[in-house]
Amino acid sequence: MYVGVSARYLVNLEALNMAESVGNFVRHKKAPIVVRSGSGYVLRYVPVVSGQSIAHGYQELLARVAKGMGLPVCPLCEQGVFVKHGADEIIRRLARDYKAPHAMRLQELLKEKKSPASLYEEFEREVITNCVVEDVGGFLYPGAVPVKRTSRFIAGYMIPALDHVKASGVESQMHVRHDPLGAAGRAGEETGQAIYYVETASALYTVNLALDLDGIGCYTRAAGGWEELEDALKRREAALRALALLVEGMLWGAKKSRFNPSFELESVVVTVSHPYPFNPTPGHHDDYIGDTARRASGYLKTVKPVAGDAFVEIHYYRASRSTASKPAAAGGVKVREAPTASEAVLAALDHLAKAGCR
C-alpha cells in the first residue's frame, strides 16, 4: 500500500533552509525552475526548501512517535543525530559509549565469514529490528559488502506553486546582536553591536510527500523475497502518525527560534493506493485536487485488469480561504473531504491490515 501527499502552504517570512554565509550575510536556498509565460517558457530562480530538510523533520517526529508507541529507536536517532549505521566508527561508538547490544552483534557479524547475501540479510535485519527510524528512513553501510536500505519516506523540494510564482520573493532582513569582545574576539575592544543580514522568503509553496507502507517492517531474505517483522503493523501506524503531524504543523526546517514562519496550510490531498504506487498531482494550480481525482480514475482502469483488488482513495482538506477548487466525482474513486489535514492522512489507517511486504 502506498500513501501520497500533495499540500499547499501560504508561508511568510521563513528562513527554513539556508544555503551559506558570506561575511555577515546569510543566504536562503534557491533553485531554478521553468514556468510558462505568454511567449513560451522562462527560467526563474525561486526560494526552496530541500527534501533533505523535510526528511530530517519527519525522522525527528518519527523517533518521538515510535518511542511513545513502545517501538525501538537507536540511541543516536533518538537524539536526532541521523548518521545512521553508516560507518564502522558509528557502530563502534554505539557499542562502546551506549552499550547497544545490536551494535555489538553487528561488530561480530562483520568479522564472521559469511556470504555477501547472508551478511546483507543479517545486517539489515539487525539494524531495522532495533531502529524504526532506519527502517522507514533508510541507511547505507558502505563496507566491503555494502548494505543499503532505500528510504520508505519520500520527500521532494518545497517550491512556489507555478501558477502563483510571481507572488514569491526573497529579501534580506537586518539584525543586530551584542558583540562585547569585538570582531577580533579580544576583550577590551568593545564594538557594541554587530550587524548581520538574513534572507527571508515568502511564497505559496507546494510540496509532495509519500510513504511506501509495504516496505516498512520488512527486510530482504538471502534466499530471495521479503520477511516481515512481528511489529510491522505497529511500525506502519507510527510512520503514518508521524506523517500526519508533519503535514498538519509544517514541522520541518531550521532557524525557527527567531524566524518561525507565519504559515497557513491552505489545502492538502492524500491518496491511498493498492497494490501499485499512485502520486497525487503537485499543487501547482488551483485544480490540483480535481486533477488528482481524474488521474486516479485512469489509474484504476489501468491496474484493475492486472490486480482485481486494486483501489485508490482520495482524501482532501481545504481551508476556508483556500483558492484550491473542490474535486468533482471520478469514476470508481472514493473522494472524501476531511475536517483537518491530519485526518486526511490518518484515513489510511483503515487500510493498514491490507499492507504487506513486497
Condensed to tens digits (0 to 9), the pLDDT of residues 19-38 reads 988 888 999 999 999 999 88
Whose cell is 536562503? That residue is 28
What is the rounded CA–CA span in Å between residue 140 and residue 134?
10
- Whether residues 138 and 171 share a domain: the answer is no
Give the cell for residue 340.
483537518
**pLDDT recorded at residue 23:** 84
149 in the same domain as 68 = yes
Chosen domain end from 182, 203, 224: 203
Whole-angstrom Cα distance, residue 308 to residue 342?
30
Segments forming the whole domain that contains residue 172: 12-50+159-203
How far, in Å, are 51, 133, 139 from residue 136 at the CA level?
15, 5, 9
Regions of the chain short of the pLDDT cut 50: none
Claim to verify: residue 58 and residue 150 sit in the same structural domain: yes
Instruction: Note whether residue 306 is domain-resident.
Output: no
Residue 189 lies in a domain: yes
Q: Are residues 88 and 178 in the same domain?
A: no
Q: Is residue 236 part of a domain?
A: no
Contact 121, 222 (CB under 8 A): yes
Q: Is the same domain home to 112 and 163?
A: no
Instruction: Assess if residue 190 is contained within a domain.
Output: yes
Domain boundary among 123, 155, 187: 155
Is the sign of the CA dihedral 88, 94, 97, 101 positive or negative? negative
User: Does residue 130 share a domain with residue 87?
Assistant: yes
- What is d(CA 327, CA 169) in angstroms, rounded to the nearest whole number? 30
In a domain, 274, yes or no: no
Instruction: Confirm whether 208 is domain-assigned.
Output: no
- At residue 223, the pLDDT reads 81
> 276 in a domain, yes or no?
no
- Whether residues 29 and 166 fall in one domain: yes
- If asked whether residues 29 and 164 sit together in one domain, one would say yes
Give the rounded distance of the alpha carbon of 39 from its chain centre: 36
Q: Please identify, among 203, 237, 265, the residue that sits at the C-terminal boundary of a domain.
A: 203
Residues 169 and 144 both lie in one domain: no
For residue 335, tell me if it sits in a domain.
Answer: no
The pLDDT of residue 186:
56
